[in-house]
Structure 1
Amino acid sequence: MPLKALALNCTLKVDASEESSTDAMIAVLEKAFDEKQVTLSETVRVAALDIKLGVTSDEGEGDEWPALREKILAHDILIFGGPIWMGQIGSVAKRLLERMDAFLSETDDQGRMPSYGKVAVAAIVGNEDGAHFSSAQLFQALNDVGWTIPAVAACYWVGEAMGSTDFKDLDETPEMVTKTARMVAGNAAHLAGLLQSNPYPG
């Protein structure tokens, strides 16, 4: 079956019409995934949703996590995108990880979490240090709740420390970012295809 990817933009910008460097990085990955016949069906601006605080799959009235959770789990590949703030992943991304904690108790008869057999990669941007630490935070947490992380799973860009240039302000995408995006997409697509045809036994 054709592989599908969903991107989560965890920018702190609530207005989806406001330009985001995370969107720009996700667009680089979208092009790379398209070359591997993986369709990016949607990019979700998470801050525009009402994702309640908590660690369950439904935190009650008005919580928009259940619908987003269903959408996430309907895809083969998750692009988890977000900015670096204070040297680490931002609060929007952390809230999603906390909500996925519920996967630990939502296993099937073989002990597999809902995310088993699905692949996650990262799209990280910032004008400060922290890309490696942010990807380490993401990948450890995502792996804990059942996601599979491929080799070379993070595509990132960081500008000059304490600088004012954002990724979205660049005239062109740096060659190494494009090269890395292709490797991320290729490895993720390969792994997702293997898991689709041969799921984890549990």
Structure 2
Amino acid sequence: MALTCLALNCSLKRSGTVSSTDKILRELLAELTRSGVSGEVVRVADLDIKPGVTADEGEGDAWPALRRRILAADIIALGTPIWLGQPSSIAKRVLERMDAFLSETDEQGRMPTYGKVAVCAVVGNEDGGHHCHAEVFQALNDVGFTVAANAGTYWVGPAMGSKVYKDLSEPYEPTVRATRMAAANAAHLAGLLAGARYPGLAG
């Protein structure tokens, strides 16, 4: 069964600007291809995602089209830089818009995201890698995504330093291993869920 991944680059930078978040997401997609998963990266900063918590916030809102792509994928990889120890404001906007999934359940209480797997990639040159994973994974699980074992990868540079992930001259092995593990586990879980739906609420 062919599986797909949609990687959401929640960098504050638009396309045309080199992004550390883009680098780690593309490394994740490369690892996913080893498990037969195809994918693409979307630079969310290029889109006009309106504030709100509904599936469509009206004229000019780019969320409905992105939402369709999210629901068409088997795996969602959310990538975020660390700002002030937190996921980016764009990552938080994406998570807020997913709140609508809570009210879009079927007759058995299943959200449209049931059976879809979440992966998170974090980069920064300050503390906060684990904190960002905690925030992102909790939110994604709340709106119906399934989190695989070791589904997070990250790189954090020296505290208060100027080194950034995109400028590393050679791969950082702990991050390479974490990315490989996240990709392999996410692909495995997505394959299992594709063949066995969650049961939902009986009666």
TM-score by length of 2: 0.97
**After superposition, what is the alpha-carbon deviation per residue over 1:17-61, rounded to whole angstroms, capped at 9, x for unaligned?**
100000110121111111111111x21000110000000000000
Matched, 1:28 2:27: yes
Q: Which residue of 2 aligns with 1:37?
A: 36
**After superposition, what is the alpha-carbon deviation per residue over 1:49-104, rounded to whole angstroms, capped at 9, x for unaligned?**
00000000000000000000000110000010010000010100000100000000
Q: Distance in 2 between matches of 1:67 and 1:184?
A: 27
Q: Which residue of 2 aligns with 1:9?
A: 9
Q: Distance in 2 between matches of 1:27 and 1:187?
A: 17
Match of 2:93 among 77, 91, 95: 95
Amino acid at match of 1:29: L
Match of 1:140 among 138, 142, 149: 138
Amino acid at match of 1:33: L
Q: Which residue of 2 aligns with 1:159?
A: 157
Q: Distance in 1 between matches of 2:176 and 2:35?
A: 14
**After superposition, what is the alpha-carbon deviation per residue over 1:143-189, rounded to whole angstroms, capped at 9, x for unaligned?**
00000001101110000011111000001111111111111011101
TM-score by length of 1: 0.98
Q: Which sections of structure 2, spanning at least 5 residues, go unmatched? A: none
RMSD, matched Cα: 0.6
Q: Which residue of 2 aligns with 1:67?
A: 65
Q: Which residue of 2 aligns with 1:168?
A: 166
Q: Distance in 1 between matches of 2:11 and 2:183?
A: 21
CA shift, 1:110, in A, is 1.1
| Secondary structure of the structure 2 residue equivalent to 1:152 | strand
Q: Which sections of structure 1, spanning at least 5 residues, go unmatched? A: none
Q: Distance in 2 between matches of 1:192 and 1:81?
A: 19
Alignment length, in residue pairs? 200
Q: Return structure 1 stretches of 4+ with deviation > 2 angstroms.
A: none
Q: Percent identity?
A: 62
Q: Distance in 1 between matches of 2:169 and 2:35?
A: 25
Which deviates further from its counterpart, 175-184 or 152-161?
175-184
Q: Distance in 2 between matches of 1:175 and 1:36?
A: 20
